[in-house]
Amino acid sequence: MDNKQQYTQFIKSEAKRLGFISCGISKAEFLEQEAPRLEKWLKSNAHGEMRYMENHFDKRLDPTKLVEGSKSVVSLLLNYYPSEIQNTESYKLSKYAYGTDYHFVIKDKLKQLLHAIQDEIGDVQGRAFVDSAPVLDKAWAAKSGLGWIGKHSNLLTQQVGSFYFIAELIIDLDLEYDHAVTDHCGTCTACIDACPTEAITEPYVVDGSKCISYFTIELKENIPSDFKGQFDDWMFGCDICQDVCPWNRFSKTHSEPLFNPHPELLSMSKNDWEEITKETFNKVFKKSAVKRTKFEGLQRNITFLKE
């Protein structure tokens, strides 16, 4: 077994030990196929107020510009599918936001993985990325054979569907590279048909500025009144396109205690949410991703749903 093969096997077994459900590796190079797609998407203003998407265009497409000397992109998936779902009669929030903010949980695991690599192999330099820098997570995960990009633009796998986080470790180490898998969406249009705001404008293209997640998390101003009555009670994020996807019948419950929700969260009624105080918000969402929208943002969203 040569070093490259040995190192690759070591990284994949360490990733598994740390709780990642899968690990795929790609050569760190320019994402040729993604460049025209990203450019077209930005030109159509599908990113709405998410102006940060316009920054670092070159770095988004070329990891060697982001991490000096990088040779490999290690993509990892971490399951967040919960064992219990919120009361369906209540206002809803995305399943990924039930527990502790994933940025903290995954960053910690990635640091452990990098340290394990350095302990085993020696002087390996790299950086960890969790949805927080100009890295096209889904494109790298697909290129690394972890799944295919579905018509709703999320990464899909036949084994566990799509309820997982994607993260990367970009390192200056040559490894064995994986290959992309085939698309298994077929003629299914469940996600396109189910989206209440028609944000999936064509297969594989999402107009971010029409997405319920965008309105309830990213948008800082008032939600446009044209969308009244179309949010299906989602107050933070939205899982509709994933919930209706046939591949998510294979979702398995996560095994990360930090992703378990605050006990009060699942039982809160619409009335509880409408009367939520700042104290309760801080207690229930102490380390949650919901903090991104802040107490005032969540109140705005609830008021919009209520009117």
145 φ/ψ sector (left φ>0, alpha ψ -120 to 50, else beta): left
User: Could you give the dihedral angle defined by the CA atoms of residues 154, 223, 221 and 210, in that order, rounded to the nearest 10 degrees?
Assistant: 30
Rounded CA-CA distance 45/207 in Å is: 8
End-to-end CA distance of the chain: 65
Sign of CA dihedral 299, 303, 47, 244: positive
Q: Is 249 helix (H, G, I), strand (E, B) or coil?
A: helix
HEC string of 191-216?
HHHHCCCCCEEECCEECHHHCHHHHH
Token pair recorded at residue 132:
């927080």
Q: From the candidates 131, 172, 183, 233, give the one annotated as an active-site residue.
A: 131
CB atoms within 10 A of CB 32: 9
Find residue 171's DSSP bridge partners.
72, 126
Place of tokens 């390996």: 124
Token pair recorded at residue 35:
């460049």
Q: Is 178 a catalytic residue?
A: no
Q: Are 207 and 199 in contact (CB under 8 A)?
A: yes
Place of tokens 């801080």: 282
Q: Are 124 and 135 in contact (CB under 8 A)?
A: no
Which residues are known catalytic residues?
Answer: 131
